[in-house]
A and B are shown apart, each in its own frame.
Chain A
């Protein structure tokens, strides 16, 4: 059974850091691109960052560029999102999602985790 389980969310002060993890199972992790998408309370979906299956290519939304870093460990079947210099506007549920067809960040997201909540507040 395919599973994506996010962890690492919580309450953090403005300017602080968090590292989110997304543990995958049920598919050949290294052959699929992975993405982080967030959703602020009561708002729509916002694409945050994506990484190719090999880990060689990463993209970031302008809103997080220079503050967030995506990485993956294909031996541990886990993708990470290191979030630094956090702001109130980063408060959201963070979902990880799997690329539908392969490792190149060029397809829709066919499976999503249940999300982890990040709250940035003093």
Chain B
């Protein structure tokens, strides 16, 4: 089973700063099967990125995804107040169909 490790656990930044979140997989995976989600307190997760770099419908272009093999990155170019949340990466498509990383909390510094 593929294990996803996200780092850092918490990222303390100010609005307007750039956020770089990492997701490392325990074995090489196709970027086609890597997604990122955002979750705010008391809300369901929201899909941001699928296929490692494709933005989901309605997602602002300050969110971007990149990476390959075992190293994937979610970048938020300039943090807006509504971006402070927990972010999860996910590997999907292969049994089991949906393994999540442990999450990175982006908090206001």
Contact = CB atoms under 8 A, between A and B. Distances in A.
Contact of A59 (B90, B95, B100): B95
Interface in B29-47: 33, 35, 37, 39, 43-47
B44 A113 contact: yes
B100 A35 contact: no
The interface residues of chain A, by DSSP majority, are classed as: strand
B47 A45 contact: no
Contacts of A50: 97-98
B81 interface: no
Interface residues of B, number: 26
Interface of A: 35, 37, 44-47, 50, 59-62, 95, 100, 105-115
Contacts of B33: 106
B102 interface: yes
A47 B100 contact: yes
A105 B45 CA distance: 18
B96 A59 contact: yes
A108 B90 contact: yes
Contacts of B102: 44
A107 B37 CA distance: 13
Contacts of A112: 44-46
A7 to B, nearest CB: 15
